[in-house]
Amino acid sequence: MNLTDWLHRMLALDTALLPAPWLMRVWLSLGWALVSAALGMALAARWTERAWLRWSVAGALALWACLPAPYASAYWLGLAFQAPSVVTGLCCALLLYTRLRPPAGERTAPVLASTKAQPAKAPKAQLTKAPARAHATTRRHDDENEDEPAPTPAAAPPGARHGDWILALLGVLLGWVLLLDTLALLPLQVYAWGLSAAAVALALVVAALPWVFSRPDAAAQPWLAVVPLALLLFVATHLPSGNVWDVLLDPWLWVALHVYLVRRLLRRFFAVR
């Protein structure tokens, strides 16, 4: 195979590879189980400090998603929304993981921010970083989660938190493009591009840019690994639909990213004033 043939194969839009039907069913349950558990955990954290109770709520909701159809919550959520994106699922898994093993005050570990003003299905928006200097001074006390160690106000390297809003902004822009494409309001056929092999590489490069251009001495940021990990899972399984865009973003995650960016802008605005 010469280079031209290889490029042709990478760019082809008519060689789609879809996930096995049984894998799609597994992800439907698993994905909604992760989302349900993370949401349950976040909501339970609003009204109880007992860890066992929070985990019970999260576990029960996860279990509910995995029941046989039609008793499973995933059956009804799938009716309306199909399966969540892999990025949404991984974000929720990371959120749960940080609850299981709370970081000991490291400024780089993900913490659960306030869920007060967030929509019911906004897992990505809940994933944020421990505050950098400016952020730490502006965040309200009740925004902090009660059972998390107080974030260290020590100076985080400038730019350490830049990656998250850049990724969020990219997600918002991608969502708008996909929405307009769905309604055929663009001259291009962007969703169909997601069926090509080259879209995987493009997504990885774009998603890695915040890491590439972050300060070399910035500490490791586990959430930056979510997109590459999701793409790796996609190459292995082609979940959730065989289209790369469905791996990266679903409409609920897109809504959540809007909320996250607006909150961040408002904080910045009031901090400046």
Partner 1 sequence: MKLHPRLARLLCVALAALVLCALEGLQRAPVPEAARAQWPQAAPALQVKRLAPIARGTIPMPEGAAAAHASFLLAMPATSPAALTAFWFAGERESAPDVQIAVAQMDRITRQWSAARFVVNRHTLGQRLGFGVRRLGNPVAWIDGQSRIHLLVVATGWGGWAASRIVHLRQTAANDTFADMRFEPLRALPLSWLWNTSFLVRNAPLTLADGGMVLPVYFELGYKYPAALRFDRNGAFAGMVRISRRHDVLQPTLLMQTPQEWLALLRTQRADGKIGVARSTDGGAHWSDGADLDMDNPDAAIAALALAPGQMVLAHNPSTHSRSVLDLSRSPDGLHWSRVAALERGTEFEEYSYPSLAWVDGSLCLSYTMIRKRIAWQCFGLDAAPLGAKP
Please report whether residue 176 would count as binding partner 1 according to CB under 8 A: no
Q: Tell which positions 92-121 bind partner 1, by CB under 8 A.
A: none
Local structure of residue 250 (DSSP, 8 states): -
Please report whether residue 55 would count as binding partner 1 according to CB under 8 A: no
Q: Are 177 and 270 in contact (CB under 8 A)?
A: no
Task: Report helix, strand or coil for 240.
Answer: coil
Token pair belonging to 257: 């990213």
Cα radius of gyration (the chain):
19
Token pair belonging to 115: 């869920």
Least separation, in Å, of the C-beta of 125 and partner 1? 19
Token pair belonging to 104: 């000991």
Please report whether residue 237 would count as binding partner 1 according to CB under 8 A: no
Sole window of 43-51, 108-116, 153-161, 249-257 interacting with partner 1 (rule: CB under 8 A): 249-257
Local structure of residue 219 (DSSP, 8 states): P
| Residue 128, strand partner residues | 111
Q: Return the residue of 48, 59, 76, 166 that touches partner 1, per CB under 8 A.
A: 76
Binding residues (CB under 8 A) for partner 1: these are 6, 8-10, 12-18, 21, 24-25, 28-29, 68-70, 74-82, 178-179, 181-185, 187, 189, 191-192, 195, 197-198, 200-202, 204-205, 208, 211-213, 216, 228, 231-232, 235, 241-243, 245-246, 249-251
